[in-house]
Copies of this chain bind each other. A is one copy, B any other.
């Protein structure tokens, strides 16, 4: 689960990381009030969970409350990569001297939390990694020992911070690390970490991604989920325990198992189709869940064919068949559907579908080709 910039920074601040004074506004008038309280120049920043807000015009500087109000008026309601801006963060502007990067992730290869710092802050760190990897300094944290001060010193020296700032930097690293560990994050990032003209460090932008599997022990963090940032379909899928990602193609896919779902998308593409989504109904799905999944797929107006690929193990093919018919019974559709069922109770499943006059296939290759043909025919 991704957190908004203002949420991430508030968490960082709880761990002693210095952040700009500021507040969230949902109307231009509120933005004016916040800017008035802060005084001086402020940054008005759209709060949406996508990258590249700046380039899209979603971040503006304002020199007065009136300017802040105007900027908020332009930003609120903006569509940035499909996300409608409903909140802005109004922050006191930093007295920017230098921009650093500081971040940490769960490093799969090392099986450690890895802390990264760079003197190239304020830009996309992945570009830095691609262009000048030597400008990213890394230290791996032993899970038993935690982040140690000498490691933060290695980072501070690596990004060229003068000695006077090592202690500040160490405290920020430690705070970010504690925030990371105690929130069960998979990523925590300050970009830019600004060195101000007076030498003080300030976390001007913040980003945090939490481990969904650990949210059960952080009800306070789970409550931060911004429902506006999910599409209604994504929300329905999540609440039904389905794993769903919308894509740009025309062939809806419903599969049990993440690997098989990806493979089904891949083979669809191989035969010239384009998958409209990733959708994993998981193991042992009952008819209700299957029906919910099908409704989600059919909500997408671009879908002009649906491919079901079920390899029954714990999942029973007859339950899947019943779920399909249930959804179609509630909301009939003309979208052609190809079903491939193998495994537990596949004979019963196929018999149920035969009555409904759906196309069935023996192998995944056949099924994919039939779905692609149906989609092309419908287009």
Give chain B residues whose Cβ lies under 8 Å from the Cβ of A144.
Answer: 143-144
A186 to B131, CA, bound (A): 52
In the complex, per-residue mask of A129-171: 1 if CB is within 8 Å of any chain B CB, else 0: 0000000000000011000000000000000000000000000
A110 to chain B: closest CB distance in Å?
16
Give chain B residues whose Cβ lies under 8 Å from the Cβ of A143.
Answer: 144
A145 to chain B: closest CB distance in Å?
8
A144 to B112, CA, bound (A): 14
In the complex, per-residue mask of A94-118: 1 if CB is within 8 Å of any chain B CB, else 0: 0000000000000000000000000
A112 to chain B: closest CB distance in Å?
13
A81 to chain B: closest CB distance in Å?
42
A30 to B143, CA, bound (A): 50
A178 to chain B: closest CB distance in Å?
15
In the complex, per-residue mask of A256-294: 1 if CB is within 8 Å of any chain B CB, else 0: 000000000000000000000000000000000000000
A143 to B143, CA, bound (A): 11
A141 to chain B: closest CB distance in Å?
13
A72 to B28, CA, bound (A): 69
A144 to B145, CA, bound (A): 8
A148 to chain B: closest CB distance in Å?
15
A143 to B144, CA, bound (A): 7
A143 to B146, CA, bound (A): 12
A:219-261 near B, CB below 8 Å: none
A144 to chain B: closest CB distance in Å?
4
A57 to chain B: closest CB distance in Å?
48
Residues of A whose CB lies within 8 Å of any CB of B are: 143-144
Interface pairs (2), CB distance under 8 Å: A143-B144, A144-B144
Rank and list the top 2 A-B pairs by shortest CB-CB distance, nearest first: A144-B144, A143-B144
